[in-house]
Amino acid sequence: MFIPSIVERVGSYLVTPLVKSNDSGQFLASVSIRRGAYDRIFRFASSFPTSAQAMQHALVEGRGMVLSNQLN
């Protein structure tokens, strides 16, 4: 199960990193990018040794997508 952690406002978007552990004890990262009633979820292929690293990766990537206008 993905557990939302922190929420960061980037312009008119809410960026929420999501972290899930896999069977080998690594952590997988996803990010939710929401604006109004619309929510987009992006999953990343990399796995991370800690949940904090996975969360940081998702937050940086989500923030980057919003700031570089990659959501249109």
In the chain, where the domains are located: 3-67
pLDDT at 3: 54
**pLDDT digit string (tens) for 4-51?**
568 899 999 999 999 999 999 999 999 999 999 999 999 999 999 999
CATH code of the region 3-67: 3.30.160
User: Which pLDDT score, from 0 to 100, does residue 71 have?
Assistant: 79
pLDDT at 70: 82
Write out the chain in H/E/C secondary structure: CCEECCCEEECCEEEEEEEEECCCCCEEEEEEEEECCEEEEEEEEEEECCHHHHHHHHHHHHHHHHHCCCCC
pLDDT score, position 5: 62
Q: What is the pLDDT of residue 40?
A: 95
